[in-house]
Structure 1
Amino acid sequence: MNKNNLHGLFLLIIVFFCVTLLGNGVVLAQPHYMATIHPLTEILKKLTQGRAGVNRLLAPGISPHTFDPKPSDLKLLEGAAALFYVGEGLDKEWVDRLPALKKVEMLSLVPPAYRLKMVEHFHETTEQNFVDEKNGHVEHPSPTDPHFWTDPHLVREMLPGLVQILSSLDQDGRKIYEQNAAIFTEELEQLDRDLTEQLKPLSGRSFFLFHPSFQYFFKRYRLELAGVIEPFPGKEPSPKALYKIVQKIKQTGAPAVFTEPQLPRRPATVLAEAAGVEVFMVDPIGGTSGRMTYEQLLRFNADIFRKAYE
């Protein structure tokens, strides 16, 4: 048998081997995961780099609270080994409606002792209580605050559980996931130390937000969430509640109202004008220039909060 025949036979064997593997359900390509929002994508990329690909479902500037998946969005999920989402109070409602695939709720990986309730800091100023018509008394709803990623300490706490889930989806990648988690843990600890030092002068200072996306961030770095304009997306506060917030802004001497790029700016602007303060933009989601990586996102927001009091 001459060299050309041997070469041809070798190629046939390779092709046959690949077809056999694919026919038996063996995936030769690297695993691919999807995440609903940008911060989750960046966290997952830190663990999967060198092993798997990660993409986000929502583009920057789109609120996960009000997102409604379209057929074009569903196409992005094709071939994904799993979809990672935040959970109740953010994206769970529409994630539950998506076609069957492996879905991983990230909020459930946060230790229960660290989870905060949305109602803790703002129900008195925004009057977003529910009235039980039958018994005539006020009920205080207490959904869990889903914005856990704004605290790097909580992200660090959830890494072991996240590594376990990734390893169950891709057993051959366990070692890489564990090694990446160890590196990411050190980075998160350094980021936490830096933010603690940067925000120390703001300890106890009052802040008024359009939406309570930074409650975990504020608790970690001892900032005071003094009021919220719109606690739940789409539920605008009454004129009476807005008046109370304006009065409280003046009483506390807070220098600004903070809005977000994913939500309407006008309510915050109107409130700020009434209170005689400035409007600053913070971003819990990121995904744009200067806010691409997880670290960049948190540092960006820390800089804005610090700038408001300069």
Structure 2
Amino acid sequence: MCSILYATPREYPTLTEQREPTREGVLAAAQSIAAILPPAPLLPVEIGGVMAHVKAESLQPVGAFKIRGGWWRLSNLTEEERERGVVAVSSGNHAQGVAWAARRLGISATIVMPRNAPKVKLEATRALGAEVVLYERPGEDRDEVAAKLVAERGSVLVHAFGDPWVIEGQGSAGVEIETQLGHAPSRLVVCCGGGGLAAGLALACPDSAIHVVEPEGWDMVGRSLAAGEIVRAGPNPPSTICDALQPDATKTINLAVLQGRAEPGVAVTDKEVRAAQRFAFAKLNLVVEPGGAAALAAALSGKVPVDEDTVIMVTGGNTDAASFAATIGGD
């Protein structure tokens, strides 16, 4: 078990003190996104004899739900902010979401990415026209790298999960789900890194249970919900194949939305994640990256309840061919 550290709110302040994410913002984001993208498919899936649903965000143009938050954040920049450009930190999916939106809106984007990020994510981010600045993981503080770039260039930081517009953008998936189902889902099972998607869905679907699912040893949102305060990963966190789900702590803005709304957190193992990747490929014809399969892993392993109105978020499909082939061919 990795060691954990508790952080005071002063250490992790809301990034935008003057504004909190709202359901009205989620609805506005959904309208904006619907004008540029078709809804991600809602697929039927049988789990334990129950027909539930999978929201296939892995089929988005950038291969992940992050296109939603990237678009809504950048489309709300002022003209002066657009001229200064944006900086983001990401292992790959938020990077591509921001880069995609930046290219469409004519905004320069710089993405701070770990040197050991999947090659497919690095290449895709560069192909979308963003500048990539690499850092060592572990070893360097990615937020310090980004802060230095923001200070030097005067750019706007687009945080991957601790930004009100990003949260609202991610929540647009919940608005789509309610339209596709014809009613609110009973529960949403959500892959969780920093909590941006989970918070957005909590705002979008106020009557639905929210289950956050994280990699074992990286369940900082779940632990924070249990503790009632932000919990940060200690200095020796375990390895995980879920590269997209490795923030070392959530933010105050996310915890404020999820506290009292989310169910107790769930953690899944690498073995369970790989089994979910194989299931998605065999039963749904979906290529899913490890982090994008975490919620499905929780459902398949019985760690969350499933009924006919359950929606499981499959959040990303950006995985390299060799590692995916090894997973599909494994036991």
Larger radius of gyration: 1
Task: Settle same-fold status: TM greater than 0.5.
Answer: no
Q: What is the TM-score with the length of structure 1 in the denominator?
A: 0.29
Q: If each structure's strand is expressed as a fraction of its own residues, which one has the higher value?
A: 2
Q: What is the TM-score with the length of structure 2 in the denominator?
A: 0.28
